Amino acid sequence: MGFIGRTRRTPGTPAPGQEAEAALHADSSVESLEYEAHESMAATMLAQIADEIAERFGVQRLAIVHRTGEVPLGEASVAVVAVAPHRDAAFAAARYAIDETKARAPIWKAEQFEDGHVWVGEPARTGPPEDPQLR
């Protein structure tokens, strides 16, 4: 199972403290996305997420790749591939991988507009979700 996340023109949810800046661009289209990462910390977190996936979903192989720098509209910014003996496990693992990468990896996203930018996203979690169905 694979998942490809692509940049899109519509704005996302502004990061805490970015609401006023986002309001300035409310009627504008996103021109590109800019990703920044703390690369060694991101690699450590992605490895932790992969370990959780192996334990929870029985995945045989997993890849999570996330770009940094500018990503033009329509291009892939993140890719997840999960291989498991059964497709349900692969689908669940890929979904968990993308959700947890977005929620926990120290990768930050700024939407670029013609006249400025807005950081988007929620504050990062430090561990797996509390939802018992995801355990």
Domain ranges of the chain: 2-120
**What tens digit of pLDDT does each residue of 31-75 get?**
999 999 999 999 999 999 999 999 999 899 999 999 999 999 999
- Predicted local confidence at residue 134, as pLDDT: 52
Amino acid (one-letter) located at 102: K
Q: Give Cα 18 to chain centroid, integer Å.
A: 19
Distances in whole angstroms, Cα of residue 120 to Cα of each of 64, 81, 91? 21, 25, 26
Amino acid (one-letter) located at 42: A
- The CATH number of 2-120 is which of 3.30.750.24, 3.90.1170.40, 3.40.50.2300, 1.25.40.10? 3.90.1170.40
The answer to whether 96 touches 57, Cβ cutoff 8 Å, is yes
Global pTM value = 0.86
